[in-house]
């Protein structure tokens, strides 16, 4: 049977549980409160709760839903404190404290991936990292790794930043491409040379080999880039 959790917040620094949150035990109540503190997209957070001193037997053995009040948590140290009491009145309020180890399973590559190499599903592994110490911009969804190419060498078992990934290279640096210009309703094709590696949809500099002018262009496929009204061209 599930029971409703009553969470009373007395500090402006604390988050309020949404109505309808549920908990059967003291640990469930703390787990629910911690979920509000770790809003990490694409990765569930695992909590290992340690009570210091040990949770009193009247709370550990209680089958009543718990009232959790004045919950305080320091994200960096993992320390928490709260006041809890069984809702059935079997015990009074009790102050509790302890530590929480919050971790996240982070996708990594299981081998070194060189620049331009495409990451396959078989290349993906996971490492456990502290949730509080995650660097902004890390890739937490394995679906954002698979099928992407490395922008620079990726080392095994290290978290990957989104900025270190790119679309698979379709156009290689110094390769010849067809440049499509749009002028009104007129479409002109010219020969060009890509000045950088790029994937589909990337904007790169391309040298027009006839005029010797360098322009920005969007990569459409392995042989074609678009200059000018690129959205219209890309949809054709």
- What's the residue count for the chain? 236
pLDDT tens digits, 18-69: 332 335 688 888 888 888 788 788 888 999 999 999 988 888 888 888 888 8
Q: CA-to-CA distance for 178 and 201, rounded, in angstroms?
A: 15
Residues of the chain with pLDDT under 70: 1-24, 229-236
Report the pLDDT value the prediction gives residue 11, as an integer from 0 to 100: 29
The pair of structure tokens assigned to 26 is: 């003291």
- In 87-145, beta strands by DSSP E: 94-109, 124-130
Report the pLDDT value the prediction gives residue 35, as an integer from 0 to 100: 84
List, in order of start, the domains of the chain with CATH numbers: 6-103 (no CATH), 105-166 (3.90.1210.10), 169-234 (2.30.30.760)
Report the pLDDT value the prediction gives residue 120, as an integer from 0 to 100: 96
Give this prediction's pTM: 0.68
Is residue 32 within 8 Å of residue 23, measured between CB atoms?
yes
Question: How many other CB atoms are found less than 10 A from the CB of residue 165?
Answer: 19
């Amino acid at each position: 049977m599930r029971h409703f959790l009553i969470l009373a917040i007395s500090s402006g620094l604390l988050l309020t549980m949404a109505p309808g949150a549920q908990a059967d035990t003291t640990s469930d109540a703390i787990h629910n409160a911690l979920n509000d503190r770790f809003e990490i997209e694409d990765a569930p957070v695992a909590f290992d709760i340690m009570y210091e001193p040990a949770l009193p037997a009247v709370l550990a053995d209680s089958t009543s839903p718990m009232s959790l009040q004045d919950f305080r948590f320091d994200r960096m140290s993992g320390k928490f404190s709260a006041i809890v009491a069984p809702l059935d009145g079997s015990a009074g309020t009790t102050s509790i404290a302890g530590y929480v180890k919050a971790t996240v399973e982070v996708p990594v590559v299981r081998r070194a991936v060189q620049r331009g190499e495409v990451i396959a599903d078989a290349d993906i592994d996971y490492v456990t990292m502290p949730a509080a110490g995650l660097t902004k911009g890390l890739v937490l969804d394995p679906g954002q790794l698979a099928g992407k190419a490395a922008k620079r060498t990726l080392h095994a078992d290290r978290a990957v930043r989104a900025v270190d990934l790119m679309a698979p290279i379709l156009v290689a640096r110094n390769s010849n491409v067809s440049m499509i210009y749009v002028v009104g309703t007129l479409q002109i094709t010219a020969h060009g040379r890509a000045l950088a590696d790029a994937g589909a949809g990337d904007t790169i500099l391309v040298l027009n080999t006839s005029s010797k002018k360098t322009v920005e262009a969007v990569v459409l496929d392995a042989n074609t880039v678009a200059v000018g009204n690129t959205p219209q061209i890309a949809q054709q």
